A = this chain, B = another copy of it.
Amino acid sequence: MGSTQVDSPVTPETCSVTRTLSFVGSKWTPLVIFHLLPGAKRYGELQHLLPGISPKTLADRLQTLEGEGLLTRTVHPDKPPRVEYALTRRGRELGEILNSIAAWAES
């Protein structure tokens, strides 16, 4: 006998793609990821690579990406302080997808 239960529709709240794009699509986030793909960078380096970004926004993006497990934040106990950000494997995987979007968009 067939079930009378219909599939519950996917909503923006339950869609994995919508959820992913909700933070990857934030302003500056793709560029942050691109700049980290070649290797770890310091906070100040990213600021110079991203002219126009505010310190608040850069910190927001880095913290969100860290919270999503896409990058790691490493504090080196130096004076003056030195903090490095590096993509995780998962972050690099997402970077590859962003590259495929770039290829699609520019073709």
A residues sitting closer than 8 Å to B (CB atoms) are 9-12, 15-22, 24-25, 27-28, 30-31, 34, 49-52, 93-94, 97-98, 100-102, 104-106
Contacts and interface: CB of A to CB of B under 8 A. Distances in A.
Nearest to A28: B12
A106 B11 CA distance: 16
A interface majority secondary structure: helix
A82 B63 CA distance: 48
A101 B97 contact: yes
Nearest 7 pairs between A and B by C-beta?
Answer: A25-B25, A21-B25, A16-B105, A17-B30, A20-B105, A17-B101, A18-B30
Contacts of A101: 16-17, 20-21, 97
